[in-house]
Amino acid sequence: MAVENESAIKNIINKTEVSLILDSYDDIFSDFDPRPFSERALSEDFLTAAKSATRDKGEDLELQLLIPNDSRNGSHEELIKQRLKEYFRRRYRILLRERIKRRNQAIIMIVVGFIIGLIDAFILTALNLGAIPSDTIGLLMTPASWYTIWTGFDHLFSNPEDRAADEAFFKRLRNVHVTFVPY
């Protein structure tokens, strides 16, 4: 019996882009969340397995979840399909908004840094308040200007690898076609 199941599973896996074997529907959801499937949090283990299985795949994926035939429930499956699609879309939108917010904050920092530098270079020089106040203000404003500008550029051009990987993962799965296959 086990050999028949193994060969059936191998045939199914060869036909799909991404397949994950589940013991039950509970494998998709957190063990610590007692709520029904419609509200339950997704399992970190499931997300990690899906992330590693889809790492080298394109955006048009079919996610086949292999589940024992005697454990199947059509209403649960439809609810889970809907939940997975909603979750992946929502997480992608959140990460996209965070990236845009981070970019906007970086641009603001760069502009503020340039303004501080302009104030230091032109206004204080034009006022020519004397050697000591001018030097003291310049001593404070020049590093502030440089720090703000470079920190803004750092935020603008760097995207931590984990954040980029998460965004790519959720982008790939936001339109995933989920099917449940018995084994």
For the record, the structure tokens of 6 come out as: 């193994």
Alpha-carbon distance 48 to 42, whole Å? 11
Q: What is the pLDDT of residues 81-104, one digit of tens each?
A: 999 999 999 999 999 999 999 999
Per-residue pLDDT of 37-76, as tens digits, reads 888 899 999 999 998 888 877 777 888 999 998 888 888 8
d(CA 160, CA 11): 38
130: left (phi over 0), alpha (psi -120 to 50) or beta: left
Residue ranges per structural domain of the chain: 2-94+174-182, 98-164
The pTM score is 0.73
